[in-house]
Amino acid sequence: MQPVNIKEKFSLFNDYFNPRIIGELNGQHVKAAKLKGEFAWHKHENEDELFFVVHGLLKIEFMDKTIEINEGEFIIVPKGVEHKPVANEEVHVLLFEPATTLNTGNVTNKFTKEKLETI
């Protein structure tokens, strides 16, 4: 049991769309991810997903609208809702979601990470 420094965790990796696990509790994971560019459309059948932006501006496209999440803001995407994260510039996000969550949800593509690293 020790404090986890967010900035320090983000200093440990530089690739995009490859979340690292930085905490685990109650069957949930806390993850850190750097995003840049357009991710793929997907949904999570069984998991709500929280995106907390700690650096940059994250856009999430939904079927009917695009929502901007600024630094210091979070959004909860409910299970079953199709979404596509887009980061025009580098974005740092914390994710809070069940340990069962696959990053690309119901699809498998070049972004899919079956096994995440814990840092």
24 Cβ partners below 8 Å, 6+ apart? 30, 99
Using CA atoms, how far apart are residues 21 and 34, in angstroms rounded to an integer?
12
Amino acid at 6: I
Min dist CB 36 to its own copies, Å, is 20
Nearest distance, CB of residue 85 and its own copies, angstroms: 13
Report the C-alpha gap between 22 and 19 in whole angstroms.
9
Per CB under 8 A, 68 contacts its own copies: yes
Which CB, 17 or 58, lies closer to its own copies? 58
The residue from 1, 11, 14, 15 that contacts its own copies (CB under 8 A) is: 1
Q: C-alpha angle 101/103/104, rounded to 5°?
A: 115
Q: How far is the CB of 68 from its own copies (least distance, A)?
A: 7
The answer to whether 30 and 22 have CB atoms below 8 angstroms apart is: yes
Does the footprint of its own copies cover residue 90 (CB under 8 A)? no
Q: Binding-site residue total for its own copies (CB under 8 A)? A: 33
| Residues within the interface to its own copies (CB under 8 A) | 1-7, 23-26, 28, 30, 47-50, 62, 67-70, 72-78, 81, 96-98
